[in-house]
């Protein structure tokens, strides 16, 4: 066997290629350096730039627990994110369960800054003490929001609420705000049903098959869940009479055929009751980071409120009146300060508008009103104009 050897003269040092072994070592060393600079799972080895990003994101982000996909709570919170998000503020909507759970989450769940619930749920938990004492001192509200209407979907054999006596009706999931509210309404109306607890989708499916007689859904109209019901399903919405027993905790409302053409006959309306949604937060200490985060959000939210009332935002924004009070509960201090600073000037502007209208009417022959009557009409004018966001 013969071995052949080839001797090669090395090129000049300036153009000599890097040996493969040296190149591999160099690549390995550079990879080791990169891994050393990469953040570990516990964030202990962040580079300077990464640390800046982490601090910025956490300082500027405010989380709001809302509802499930397609529900009004989540749509409203998404609108807040779209309109308010910028370099100094980021609203992070959290998919939640319902108004009752949102109160629990605001109180106890880490990372939740604020949430949407109903006025009825706040009063309920305050009265039962289920979530501890002095709830009205531990929570504050930023603003009252929109109305959440009660929808009762029934099959062809059910014409009135009384027809549900002794029959199965879904009050949604156990412990939910829908269950608590439905129990209250049916109890006040003295209508004894056989309560079952199903998710909204499952409940409507059971109504379609006739396994249950009705399903209760409480949501700001239009409720997207009901848009999935076709005319061929032969379902309809029941009237909820606004009788005296309901007048302490509920307000009258109506559902229109334009919103639910497959559930309400054309041109008809269905009377029902509603509760007010409320945006809440904890009663944070003024020295805390959470307090300043909420304060930044409030300033941006209230200052840009008019933008939320324009298309394509959810139509429920047209019902929101920032200055509306929630008796028995304290408003977050920064929100109250903003209203005290801005609303008086708005009221003065509205008074000028009112005086202009009065003067114009008097020039056309209307009588001069007594001062007491004039003030009464002005208060009605304020209530009317509160809905236009001006």
pLDDT tens digits in sequence order for the chain, 390 residues long: 444 434 344 444 444 444 444 444 444 444 444 434 445 455 556 778 887 777 777 778 999 999 888 789 999 999 999 999 998 899 999 999 888 999 999 999 999 999 999 999 999 999 999 999 999 999 999 999 999 999 999 999 899 999 999 999 999 999 899 999 999 999 999 999 999 999 999 999 999 999 999 999 999 999 988 988 999 999 999 999 999 999 988 999 999 999 999 999 999 999 999 999 999 999 999 999 999 999 999 999 999 999 999 999 999 999 999 999 999 999 999 999 999 998 765 554 555 565 666 666 666 666 666 655 655 565 556 555 554 444
Same domain, 366 and 322: no
Angle between helices 289-303 and 48-60 (to 10 degrees): 60
Cα 226 from Cα 255, distance rounded (Å) = 12
Q: Which residue has the tokens 């989708």?
A: 201
Same domain, 302 and 368: no
Same domain, 360 and 233: no
Question: Which pairing describes strands 236-237 and 139-154: parallel, antiparallel, or unpaired?
Answer: antiparallel
Cα 52 from Cα 365, distance rounded (Å) = 69
The SS3 of residue 132 is coil
Same domain, 232 and 357: no
Q: Of 179, 206, 175, 205, give the one whose Cα is nearest residue 193.
A: 179
Domain count, the chain: 2
The SS3 of residue 352 is helix
pTM, two decimal places: 0.74
Q: What is the pLDDT of residue 87?
A: 83
> For residue 99, what are the domain limits?
53-331
In CATH, what number is assigned to the domain containing residue 139? 3.40.190.10
**DSSP H or E run through 379:** helix 371-385
User: Is 163 within a domain?
Assistant: yes
Question: Which pairing describes strands 168-170 and 114-118: parallel, antiparallel, or unpaired?
Answer: unpaired
Cα 270 from Cα 132, distance rounded (Å) = 38
- Cβ(280)–Cβ(105) below 8 Å: no
Tokens describing residue 63: 């989380």
- Cβ(263)–Cβ(237) below 8 Å: yes
Tokens describing residue 240: 């909820």
Same domain, 264 and 370: no
Q: Of 212, 193, 192, 194, give the one whose Cα is nearest residue 203.
A: 212
- Cβ(294)–Cβ(61) below 8 Å: no
Same domain, 355 and 323: no
User: Is 271 within a domain?
Assistant: yes
Tokens describing residue 49: 């730039």
327's CB contacts (< 8 A; 6+ apart) are none
User: Is 34 within a domain?
Assistant: no
Same domain, 116 and 263: yes
Residue 219 sits at φ, ψ, to 5 deg, of -160, 150
User: Is 28 within a domain?
Assistant: no
Same domain, 303 and 384: no
Same domain, 254 and 368: no
Cα 122 from Cα 331, distance rounded (Å) = 14
Cα 91 from Cα 16, distance rounded (Å) = 58
Same domain, 293 and 374: no
Q: Which residue has the tokens 């709830």?
A: 135
Q: What is the pLDDT of residue 288?
A: 93
């Amino acid at each position: 066997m013969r071995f052949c050897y080839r001797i090669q003269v090395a090129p000049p040092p300036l153009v000599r290629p890097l040996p493969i072994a040296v190149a591999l070592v160099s690549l390995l060393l550079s990879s080791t350096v990169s891994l050393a600079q990469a953040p570990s799972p516990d964030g202990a080895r962040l580079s300077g730039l990464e640390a800046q990003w982490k601090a910025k994101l956490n300082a500027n982000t405010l989380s709001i627990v809302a509802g499930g996909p397609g529900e009004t709570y989540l749509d409203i919170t998404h609108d807040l994110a779209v309109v308010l998000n910028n370099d100094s503020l980021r609203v992070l909507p959290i998919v939640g369960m319902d108004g009752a759970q949102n109160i629990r989450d605001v109180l106890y769940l880490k990372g939740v800054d604020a949430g949407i619930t109903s006025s009825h749920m706040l009063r309920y938990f305050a009265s039962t003490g289920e979530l501890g004492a002095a709830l009205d001192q531990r929570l504050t509200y930023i603003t009252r929001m929109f109305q959440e209407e009660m929808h009762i979907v029934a099959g062809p054999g059910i014409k009135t609420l009384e027809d549900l006596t002794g029959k199965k009706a879904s009050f949604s999931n156990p412990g939910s705000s829908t269950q608590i509210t439905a129990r209250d309404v049916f109890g006040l109306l003295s209508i004894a049903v056989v309560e079952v607890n199903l998710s909204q989708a499952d409940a409507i499916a059971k109504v379609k098959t006739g396994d249950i007689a009705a399903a209760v859904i409480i949501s700001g109209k239009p409720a997207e869940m009901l848009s999935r019901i076709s005319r061929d399903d032969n379902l309809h919405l029941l009237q909820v009479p606004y009788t005296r027993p309901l007048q302490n905790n509920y307000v009258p409302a109506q559902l229109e055929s334009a919103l639910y053409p497959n559930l309400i006959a054309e041109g008809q309306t269905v009377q029902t009751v509603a509760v007010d949604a409320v945006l809440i937060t904890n009663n944070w200490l003024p020295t805390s980071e959470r307090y300043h985060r909420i304060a930044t959000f409030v300033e941006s939210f209230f200052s840009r409120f008019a933008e939320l009332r324009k298309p394509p935002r959810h139509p429920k924004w047209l019902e929101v009146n920032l200055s509306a009070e929630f008796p028995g509960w304290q408003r977050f201090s920064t929100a109250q300060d903003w209203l005290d600073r801005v609303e008086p000037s708005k009221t003065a502007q509205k008074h000028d508008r009112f005086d202009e209208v009065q003067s114009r009417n008097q020039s056309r022959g209307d009588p001069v009103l007594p001062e007491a009557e004039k003030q009464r009409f002005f208060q009605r004018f304020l209530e009317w104009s509160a809905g236009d966001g001006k």
